[in-house]
Amino acid sequence: MYPKDYRYSKEHEWVKVDGSTATLGITDHAQKELGDVVFLELAEVGRKLEPGQILGTVESVKAVSEIYCPVDGEIIERNTALIDHPEELNQDPHGKAWMVKLKLAPGADTSALMDASAYEAFAATSQH
């Protein structure tokens, strides 16, 4: 269910690293916990983020939740199609519903993030 080449945070975000670029989004577990997503706000291109800083908020029919950045980097692209159609988060959270792309900071480290099997076990016991 969870892509094997992604890394996952305890806050239910995913990261896919490709060279010096990282693509970020929320996990299938997170979107299921949120329910029907109705609004999405993302930080602007050019913003530098450190792990734990807020990169956006997602609003569903149930709640408003903050999205945290799991790695160091600078936003180089936002998924504007997702901002216009936030319901895509419920349909394809690990694919076309990515949120932002970061240029990783020198020395950015994803080793503290979980692999797919560890995240799957974590999500099975987690209430968002």
Quote the CA–CA distance of 2 and 93 in Å, as a whole number. Answer: 10
Whole-number percent of the chain with pLDDT over 70:
98
CATH number of the domain that 102 lies in? 2.40.50.100
**pTM assigned to the model:** 0.95
Asked whether residue 62 is domain-assigned, the answer is yes
- pLDDT for the residue numbered 15: 98
128: pLDDT strictly greater than 60: no
Quote the CA–CA distance of 103 and 60 in Å, as a whole number. Answer: 29
Asked whether residue 26 is domain-assigned, the answer is yes
Q: What is the tens place of the pLDDT at every residue in 5-20?
A: 999 999 999 999 999 9
Asked whether residue 52 is domain-assigned, the answer is yes
Q: Which domain holds residue 93?
A: 7-106
Q: What is the tens place of the pLDDT at every residue in 45-77?
A: 999 999 999 999 999 999 999 999 999 999 999
Q: Cα dist. 5→72, 94, 114 in Å?
A: 19, 11, 11
Asked whether residue 64 is domain-assigned, the answer is yes
Asked whether residue 41 is domain-assigned, the answer is yes
Asked whether residue 94 is domain-assigned, the answer is yes
User: What is the tally of structural domains in the chain?
Assistant: 1
Q: What does the H/E/C string look like for 50-89?
A: CCCCEEEEEEECCCEEEEECCCCEEEEEECHHHHHCCCHH
